[in-house]
Amino acid sequence: MASIEEKACRKMTATLLGRRLVTCLLNVSEARRKDLVESVAKAALYDCQGTPRNGTTVLNIFNDRDYNRSVITIVASIESIREAVLSACEKACELIDMRTHSGLHPRMGAVDLVPIYPLGEDVGIEDCARESRAIALGLTQRVPGTSVFLFGWADTPLQRGLAQRRKEMGWFKKMADLQSIASCVGPAPQKRFGLTGVGAGPYVMNCNVTIDTQDIAVGRRIAAAIRESAPGGLPGVQVLALPHEGAVEIACNVESVPGDPPEHSDATAPWPSFNVGGQPYCHIPASLIAARVAELAGGHGVATMGTALVGFTPNECRGLAEWALAREIGPFWKEQQRVRM
């Protein structure tokens, strides 16, 4: 049993850490070799001598075999995130060869996405954007032959969103033509490493709803209806319909939007809200996305099969990170099933 003093110390440590925390939801193009993916996660946590990096934790590893894609949730202070992420990227580039990669999810690189999001009260999006640009340069220097495109707040001065950047580069096509793409940092993309997207912005949550059909056309109609840009679409939602395990998955990127949650909502849960540098943000809850997909699918005579949250909401991410870091738990993904907050 921890003493009252120890508990108070941990609480104070977690509070102080929480003010400077950022997260990287590192997307890598591998899920079928779980040992390989764990090697990438461990590279974020330990240096080449096996010494743990202070103030760094990996909260979650989400693997999808059909997509052959994993999302690794790395959390550290703004001062420490760069080295943790670069080390993980180096390991991924060493182990993943895009010339032999296959998977149902669109992708461009061995390290496909490196988004940096603020979690702490004293960290702004501009801080994350500076770190993102430093990571982009560091990756191309440390792994010769890698190439980077920038998105979000890291893409100065245009600040083009990820969906726009992907559309510009042909990411939504079956096979993007790497030779026709001009990278922002590094050389022209090579087949070995592909092209990595590095960016920053408010937190983006991933929510996937599976519908009980193999008709991809139905999935695309549903995706088109809930996309933010559609009339009556859902705020902050960017979405694809993809074949997945004998069904169709409505795969959503749920972007945070500035402002307080709406006063009136038909959601079954309140809109999660949080602050970044004093600016309020919120995002639509997964329950409302699932309900809307179920309604639209029902119009086609199709049922939903389940909803999966890839990782955490922003508040969950910060809370778990504070808890893990106060206890110096780096590989938290191995512990999370046993945690009682």
Instruction: Check pLDDT > 90 for residue 68.
Output: yes
Q: Which residue has the higher pLDDT, 337 or 316?
A: 316
Q: Residue 294's pLDDT band (boundaries 50, 70, 90)?
A: very high
Instruction: Check pLDDT > 70 for residue 61.
Output: yes
How is the chain split among helix, strand and coil, in percent rounded to 5? 35, 25, 40
Q: Residue 177's pLDDT band (boundaries 50, 70, 90)?
A: confident
Say what the pLDDT of residue 188 is.
Answer: 93
Q: Residue 118's pLDDT band (boundaries 50, 70, 90)?
A: very high
Say what the pLDDT of residue 340 is.
Answer: 47
Cα 246 to chain centroid, rounded: 25
Instruction: Check pLDDT > 70 for residue 1.
Output: no
**What residues have CB less than 8 Å from 28, skipping those under 6 apart?**
37, 40, 69, 70, 72, 92, 96, 110, 111, 112
Cα 12 to chain centroid, rounded: 28
Say what the pLDDT of residue 341 is.
Answer: 40
Look at phi and psi of residue 41 and say left if phi exceeds 0, alpha if psi is from -120 to 50, else beta.
Answer: alpha
Q: Which residue has the higher pLDDT, 179 or 26?
A: 26
Sign of the CA dihedral 215, 162, 204, 147?
positive
d(CA 72, CA 328): 18
Span of 36-50, 70-84, 185-199, 270-284 with lowest mean pLDDT: 270-284
Q: Residue 180's pLDDT band (boundaries 50, 70, 90)?
A: confident
Question: What are the pLDDT digits (tens) for 239-293?
Answer: 999 999 999 999 999 999 999 988 765 556 789 899 888 899 999 999 999 999 9
**What residues have CB less than 8 Å from 45, skipping those under 6 apart?**
52, 53, 56, 57, 58, 84, 330, 331
8-20: average pLDDT: 56
Question: What one-character-per-residue DSSP string does 65-96 give?
Answer: TTTTEEEEEEEEETTTHHHHHHHHHHHHHHH-
Instruction: Check pLDDT > 60 for residue 106.
Output: yes
Say what the pLDDT of residue 176 is.
Answer: 64
41-63: average pLDDT: 95
Q: Residue 121's pLDDT band (boundaries 50, 70, 90)?
A: confident
Say what the pLDDT of residue 175 is.
Answer: 58
Question: What are the pLDDT digits (tens) for 137-175?
Answer: 999 999 999 999 999 999 999 999 999 999 898 887 655
Q: Which residue has the higher pLDDT, 95 or 276?
A: 95
- Percent of the chain clearing pLDDT 70 (strictly above): 91
Instruction: Check pLDDT > 60 for residue 87.
Output: yes
Residues in the chain: 341
d(CA 133, CA 281): 23
50-69: average pLDDT: 95
Instruction: Check pLDDT > 80 for residue 338.
Output: no
Q: Mean pLDDT, the chain, as a whole number?
A: 90
What are the chain's domains?
Answer: 4-202+314-338 (3.30.990.10), 204-310 (3.30.70.670)
* Strand stretches in 95-230, DSSP E: 111-118, 148-152, 196-200, 204-211
Look at phi and psi of residue 278 and say left if phi exceeds 0, alpha if psi is from -120 to 50, else beta.
Answer: left
